[in-house]
């Protein structure tokens, strides 16, 4: 590519993709509303301004407006007209770099950071929702929220956190997969940027459910409750649909990259274990996400067009929704945790200075979880009255998930065995994740048997179990990953003392949250209730849980301060601060625009720590050496 | 690898696992048990907790031991011991857990029978209907159970030791019928009839609590459930039948059937909607400041168009707006007649 095709990076506020995207989105919103109203005039529908279809039309156009405004289609439009098309991999190297993070930029490292920052901000939003209703729950009786206010915040907390997790997974994967594979970028850089710029308006739409009346369905959005909920529920459905589309495009990109762009010599069983986790995750996302999209779209259509898909009087069936919904939404929890478990497996060898024990078993256990994960969905529906054969099938498949999960735990213990363990912040988060996920795993099988689940279903037991799997499987590994790869992405070190303080507060705070939840869940505390009878005696437990939640919130402020401060003025990081063998640590930090200026090849196994003369990588030409 | 290093943590695992497992095997983590079926639930829960306690002790002991024994000593610059797999070990820790989880699944399968009754069991039928946000219970005519005439109530009375076959229904969204002390629950799903089999075994006052998110007042969707002696049950049924057959109380039966008294008390108790006690011919003040005397037309309009006039201090959009479709005109008149009977003077006269 010659220099004149470089994209010119402007630093003016009004030229930023984010600003233009939001302006474009707002304009398109009104265009969309006018479009729907025009259609209503054309077909003689009365009234012309019927709030729900008109606002939903605005929401759909909003997404397109953001994409067009941000410049997602600029290259494609130019190409269609026969005009010049800039190479997405060659932005202007001399101009300022910061506007790239606010623009439609195709570099996987820029997109990875965009995703990660958006994920953390979204997580803060979901956390604020949680702290608000958790404070309301601290004492019996309604203090400062209405019942609908509680229901909306509780529902939004769920779905906003899920969106944040999907963004976080995409953030880690975008930044790390090409680097860990020795590739210069993702397979489809523009599609990659499109995925991010779809996810952004998707998250905004979900958050817009709040000003548009909220919704009281929980993140599951079951009809018929979803069909009679306030207008806000439409923005929740639509936003999830858009985030889901982003997730599908992203996973197609990850899979292609993993299949096609590995460095010479990197066979399947020489891939970093995190990439195995992402491979399994992407397979689930690619084959599963359509189902939640379809389920939500069907409710939207039922509301907008009066289709009786889930209404028995019109020949529909509410259980149909639950089957379609859970066919993705159970595997989705493995989308959330498999990358996190990959981070644990990736970091343990580095901080134990030992090979990952049973690499192949660990890698294949992720694949096994991904496959079996598609066969367990109806365990969420045990209380609807399934037949005995179906129940039995889903009990057995659900119990089977415990086996590959156990393989991971035992392999991690064996990896630590006879190691030389050090306890820097990323390792602390990995170790914390181990204990938290262990409790999540051990509180799972009780829900897998129909007889015991008919008691535990819809209680705080399930809430505590789920939060253990999410914190152990995603949040703690995600924090570990941010601290671990922070020097790689920024070239600076974070503050170790603040990092450790963050860990200890968050770790202790988390158990303070969940331990009382397990207890009162077993005593019959229902989940998703805005208030509880003081006579049940759960007030003290709820107060403790709320205090723990505030401790977690406070620890995240320390985290945010540490990150912001270290990005600006952290010490310069050594080239390979963790003495990692992985590819990304063999080049400068932050990595050059195209990652590997000298071709890198893979000549050994990834985790041979402690073995002399067993290099994993070498620089040079691919010929002859990769055997 | 030095195998002797495994001895210490193995012993510690046994030392810690044994009391932990004994604790979970003997300690009831659940509230008071009041059904025959619940014994199996609690037994299986205890078994699962006991097995989980073993794996918890195993993982945590080895984890803590490794953190302590294999920590990097100051000044040590070396790498860990190089070993990366052991096929026998890996097969063992795949297949032993596999056998354990399949055994648990088998036990779970074997005990599914507890959710039904043996063939030939004489069961009492109760139809449970959930609606936003209350329950009603319909006892069909079952002379052999002491129910000589069908009744509909808002309280659930259950005779002790009587196998009961519940069917669950809903008027609107999905609800879930659950009495925690009786353990198992069943969703109530539009267009479907779900069932639940329970035999209450301990006298007491419990609560039916909705266990499936159903909108605004899901938290408050609670009804009393009493497990009583057989003869107390029959006495209660006879009393309910007498109420249903009293023409002046006919409207009460209708009001119970449609859940009116879930929000409007007949005795002055403050609920989500205004009480009916002393309502008839009283002066109503609305949230827009207007006033009216509560006559028949006012009562009828309030049932048919509940959002038109909201009494001061109460919220709009709580009461369903489809009673005009669901109730017959005669039923509405019966409810209005019943409200007549609750006006202040007559109540005093009755006392």
Could you give the percent of chain B with pLDDT greater than 70? Answer: 97
For residue A527, the chain B residue with the least C-alpha distance is: B211
A610 vs B31, B81, B192: nearest CB: B81
For residue A607, the chain B residue with the least C-alpha distance is: B84
pLDDT of residue B259: 79
pLDDT of residue B349: 37
Cα–Cα nearest to A419, from A431, A403, A432: A431
pLDDT grade for A9, boundaries at 50, 70 and 90: low
pLDDT grade for A88, boundaries at 50, 70 and 90: low
pLDDT of residue A1: 38
- Give A259 to chain B, closest Cα distance, Å: 26
In chain B, the largest separation of any two C-alpha atoms, in whole Å, equals 96
CA distance A280 to A255: 9
As separate numbers, helices (DSSP H) first and strands (DSSP E) second, chain A gives 20, 2
Tens digits of per-residue pLDDT, A245-289?
A: 999 999 999 999 999 999 999 999 999 999 999 999 999 999 999
Partners of residue B40 in chain A, C-beta under 8 Å:
451
**Residue A292's CB: how many other CB atoms inside 10 A?**
24
Lowest-pLDDT range of A76-90, A382-396, B24-38, B270-284: A76-90
The reply to whether residue B108 touches residue A356, judged by beta carbons under 8 angstroms, is no
For residue A442, the chain B residue with the least C-alpha distance is: B52
CA distance B98 to A404: 9
Tens digits of per-residue pLDDT, B219-256?
A: 999 999 999 999 999 999 999 998 888 877 778 878 87
Q: What is the 3-state secondary structure (H, E, C) of A436-505?
A: HHHHHHHCCHHHHCHHHHHHHCCEHHHHHHHHHHHHHHHHHHHHHHHHHHHHHHHCECCCHHHHHHHHHH
Tens digits of per-residue pLDDT, A94-123?
A: 777 888 899 888 899 999 999 999 999 999
pLDDT of residue B3: 82
- Above 70 in pLDDT, residue A129? yes
Write the DSSP assignment of A73-131 as a string of letters: THHHHHHHTT-----TT---SSS-SGGGGGS----HHHHHHHHHHHHHHHHHHHHHHHH
Report whether A209 contacts A156 (CB < 8 A): yes
What average pLDDT score do residues A607-619 get?
89
Cα–Cα nearest to A372, from A256, A433, A283: A283
Token pair recorded at residue B220 = 């408050």
CA distance B165 to B19: 40
For residue B32, the chain A residue with the least C-alpha distance is: A523
- Above 80 in pLDDT, residue B98? yes
CA distance A419 to A429: 18
The reply to whether residue A395 touches residue B105, judged by beta carbons under 8 angstroms, is yes
The reply to whether residue B213 touches residue A361, judged by beta carbons under 8 angstroms, is no
Map tokens 């004149």 to a residue.
A4
Partners of residue A524 in chain B, C-beta under 8 Å:
30-31, 180-181, 209
- Above 70 in pLDDT, residue B344? no
Token pair recorded at residue B223 = 């009804």
The reply to whether residue B81 touches residue A218, judged by beta carbons under 8 angstroms, is no
pLDDT of residue A459: 96
Helices (H), A138-188: 147-181
* DSSP run (H or E) holding B128: strand B124-131
Map tokens 């805005």 to a residue.
A530
- Above 50 in pLDDT, residue A60? yes
The reply to whether residue B194 touches residue A396, judged by beta carbons under 8 angstroms, is no
- A vs B, Cβ pairs < 8 A, gives 269
For residue A392, the chain B residue with the least C-alpha distance is: B109
pLDDT of residue A84: 83
Q: Which residues touch B27 (CB under 8 Å, ≥6 apart)?
A: none
- Above 80 in pLDDT, residue A497? yes
A531 vs B62, B172, B219: nearest CB: B219
pLDDT of residue A4: 46
Interface test with B, best of A217, A417, A441, A517 (most B CBs within 10 A): A417
Q: Which residue has better confidence, A98 or A489?
A: A489
The reply to whether residue B190 touches residue A414, judged by beta carbons under 8 angstroms, is no
**Distances, alpha carbon A90 to alpha carbons A78, A106, A227, in Å:** 17, 9, 48
- Above 80 in pLDDT, residue B34? yes
For residue A137, the chain B residue with the least C-alpha distance is: B219
pLDDT grade for B292, boundaries at 50, 70 and 90: confident
Partners of residue A218 in chain B, C-beta under 8 Å:
213
- Above 50 in pLDDT, residue A2? no
Tens digits of per-residue pLDDT, B6-32?
A: 999 999 999 999 999 999 999 888 999
What average pLDDT score do residues A135-145 get?
93
Token pair recorded at residue B98 = 């596999």
**Distances, alpha carbon B142 to alpha carbons A187, A189, A209, B197, in Å:** 71, 72, 50, 17
What are the backbone angles phi and psi of residue B177, rounded to the nearest 5°?
-85, 120
The reply to whether residue A452 touches residue B41, judged by beta carbons under 8 angstroms, is yes
Lowest-pLDDT range of A215-219, A357-361, A584-588, B258-262: B258-262
What average pLDDT score do residues A279-306 get?
95
The reply to whether residue B67 touches residue A446, judged by beta carbons under 8 angstroms, is no
Tens digits of per-residue pLDDT, A430-482?
A: 999 999 999 999 999 999 999 999 999 999 999 999 999 999 999 999 999 99
Could you give the percent of chain A with pLDDT greater than 70? Answer: 96
For residue A459, the chain B residue with the least C-alpha distance is: B211
What average pLDDT score do residues A158-179 get?
96
Write the DSSP assignment of B193-256 as a string of letters: -EEEEE-B-S-EEEEEEE-S--STTGGG-EEEEEEE-HHHHHHHHHHHHHHHH-GGGHHHHHHH
Lowest-pLDDT range of A193-197, A483-487, A534-538, A561-565: A534-538
- Above 50 in pLDDT, residue B351? no
pLDDT of residue A625: 44
A392 vs B40, B84, B109: nearest CB: B109
CA distance A109 to A19: 21
The reply to whether residue B60 touches residue A319, judged by beta carbons under 8 angstroms, is no
What secondary structure letter does DSSP report for B262? G
- Give A193 to chain B, closest Cα distance, Å: 38
Interface test with A, best of B37, B54, B192, B218 (most A CBs within 10 A): B218
CA distance A470 to A227: 29
* DSSP run (H or E) holding B188: strand B185-188
Q: On the CB side of A31, how many CA atoms lie within 13 Å of its CA?
A: 13
Tell me, what's the ipTM? 0.91
pLDDT of residue A8: 58
Partners of residue A459 in chain B, C-beta under 8 Å:
211
pLDDT of residue A76: 86
What average pLDDT score do residues A558-585 get?
94
Q: How would you list the strands of the sheet with B134-139, edge to edge?
A: B151-153, B134-139, B124-131, B164-170, B194-198
Partners of residue B90 in chain A, C-beta under 8 Å:
358, 361, 407, 411
pLDDT grade for B346, boundaries at 50, 70 and 90: very low
- Above 70 in pLDDT, residue B191? yes
Helices (H), chain B: 7-26, 36-69, 87-110, 230-245, 250-257, 296-304, 323-326, 329-340, 344-350
């Amino acid at each position: 590519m010659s220099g004149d095709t470089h994209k010119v990076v402007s630093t003016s506020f009004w030229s930023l993709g984010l600003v233009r995207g939001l302006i474009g989105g707002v304009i398109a919103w009104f265009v969309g509303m006018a479009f729907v109203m025009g259609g209503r005039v054309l077909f003689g529908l009365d009234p012309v301004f019927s709030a729900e279809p008109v606002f939903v039309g605005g929401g759909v156009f909003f997404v397109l407006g953001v994409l067009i405004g941000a410049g997602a289609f600029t290259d494609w439009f130019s190409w269609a007209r026969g005009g010049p098309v800039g190479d997405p991999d060659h932005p202007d190297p001399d101009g300022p770099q910061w506007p790239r993070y606010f623009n439609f930029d195709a570099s996987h490292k820029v997109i990875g950071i965009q995703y990660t920052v958006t994920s953390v901000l979204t997580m803060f939003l979901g956390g604020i929702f949680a702290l608000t209703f958790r404070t309301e729950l601290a004492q019996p009786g309604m203090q400062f929220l209405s019942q609908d206010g509680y229901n909306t915040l509780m529902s939004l907390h769920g779905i906003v956190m899920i969106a944040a997790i999907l963004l976080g997974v995409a953030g880690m994967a975008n930044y790390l997969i090409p680097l860990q594979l020795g590739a210069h970028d993702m397979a489809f850089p523009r599609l990659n940027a499109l995925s991010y710029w779809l996810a952004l308006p998707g998250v905004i739409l979900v958050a817009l459910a709040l000003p548009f009346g909220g919704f009281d369905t929980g993140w599951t959005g079951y009809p018929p409750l979803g069909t009679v909920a306030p207008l806000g529920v439409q923005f929740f459905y639509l936003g999830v649909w858009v985030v889901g589309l982003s997730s599908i495009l992203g996973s197609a990109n990850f899979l292609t990259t993993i299949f096609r762009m590995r460095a010479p010599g990197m066979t399947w069983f020489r891939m970093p274990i995190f990439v195995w986790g992402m491979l399994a995750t992407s397979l689930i996302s690619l084959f599963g996400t359509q189902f939640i999209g379809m389920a939500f779209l069907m409710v939207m259509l039922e509301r907008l067009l009066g289709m009786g898909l889930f209404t028995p009087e019109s020949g529909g069936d509410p259980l149909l929704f639950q089957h379609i919904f859970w066919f993705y939404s159970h595997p989705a929890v493995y989308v959330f945790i498999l990358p996190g478990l990959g981070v644990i497996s990736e970091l343990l060898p580095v901080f134990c200075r030992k090979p990952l024990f049973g690499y192949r078993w660990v890698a294949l256990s992720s694949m096994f979880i991904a496959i079996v994960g598609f066969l367990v969905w109806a365990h969420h529906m045990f209380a609807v009255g399934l037949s005995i054969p179906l129940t039995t099938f889903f009990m057995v498949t659900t119990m089977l998930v415990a086996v590959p999960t156990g393989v991971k735990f035992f392999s991690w213990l064996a990896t630590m065995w006879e190691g030389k363990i050090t306890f820097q912040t990323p390792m602390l988060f990995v170790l914390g994740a181990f204990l938290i996920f262990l409790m999540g795993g051990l509180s799972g099988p009780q829900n897998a048997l129909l007889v015991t689940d008919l008691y535990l279903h819809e209680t705080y037991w399930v809430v505590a179990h789920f939060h253990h799997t999410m914190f152990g499987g995603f949040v703690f590994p995600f924090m570990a990953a941010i601290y671990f790869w922070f020097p790689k992405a920024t070239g600076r070190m974070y503050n170790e003392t603040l990092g450790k303080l963050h860990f200890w507060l968050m770790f202790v705070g988390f158990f303070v949250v969940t331990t009382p939840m397990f207890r009162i869940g077993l005593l019959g505390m229902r989940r998703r209730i805005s208030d509880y009878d003081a006579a049940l005696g759960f007030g003290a437990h709820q107060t403790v849980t709320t205090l723990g939640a505030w401790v977690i919130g406070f620890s995240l402020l320390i985290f945010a301060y540490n990150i912001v401060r270290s990005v600006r003025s952290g010490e310069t990081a050594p080239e390979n601060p963790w003495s990692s063998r992985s590819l990304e640590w063999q080049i400068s930090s932050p990595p050059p625009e195209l990652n590997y200026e000298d071709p890198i090849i893979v000549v050994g196994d990834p985790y041979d720590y402690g073995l002399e003369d067993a290099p994993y990588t070498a620089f040079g030409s691919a010929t002859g050496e990769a055997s | 690898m030095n195998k002797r290093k495994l001895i210490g943590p193995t012993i510690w695992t046994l030392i810690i696992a044994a009391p932990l497992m004994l604790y979970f095997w003997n300690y009831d983590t659940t509230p008071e048990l009041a059904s025959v079926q619940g014994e199996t639930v609690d037994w299986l829960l205890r078994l699962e907790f006991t097995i989980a306690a073993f794996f918890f002790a195993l993982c945590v002991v080895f984890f803590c031991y490794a953190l302590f024994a294999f920590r990097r000593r100051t000044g040590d610059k070396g790498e860990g011991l190089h070993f990366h797999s052991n096929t026998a070990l890996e097969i063992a820790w795949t297949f032993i857990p596999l056998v354990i989880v399949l055994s648990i699944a088998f036990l779970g399968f074997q005990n599914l029978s507890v959710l039904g009754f043996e063939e030939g069991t004489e069961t009492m039928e109760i139809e449970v209907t959930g609606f936003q946000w209350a329950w009603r219970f319909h006892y069909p005519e079952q002379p052999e159970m002491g129910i000589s005439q069908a009744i509909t109530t808002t309280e659930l009375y259950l005779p002790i030791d009587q196998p009961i076959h519940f069917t669950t229904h809903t008027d609107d969204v999905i609800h879930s019928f659950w009495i925690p002390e009786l353990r198992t629950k069943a969703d109530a799903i539009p267009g479907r009839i779900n069932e639940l089999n329970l035999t209450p075994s301990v006298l007491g006052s419990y609560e039916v609590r909705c266990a499936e998110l159903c909108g605004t007042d899901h938290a408050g969707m609670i009804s009393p459930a009493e497990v009583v002696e057989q003869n107390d049950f029959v006495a209660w049924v006879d009393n309910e039948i007498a109420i249903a057959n009293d023409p002046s109380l006919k409207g009460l039966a209708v009001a119970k059937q449609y859940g009116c008294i879930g929000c409007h008390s007949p005795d002055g108790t403050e609920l989500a909607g205004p009480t009916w006690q002393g309502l008839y011919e009283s002066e109503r003040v609305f949230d827009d400041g207007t006033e009216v005397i509560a006559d028949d037309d006012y009562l009828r309009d309030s049932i048919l168009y509940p959002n038109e006039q909201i009494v001061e201090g109460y919220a709009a959009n709580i009461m369903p707006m489809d009673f005009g479709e669901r109730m017959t005109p005669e039923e509405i008149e019966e409810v209005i007649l019943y409200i007549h009977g609750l006006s202040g003077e007559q109540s005093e006269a009755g006392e």
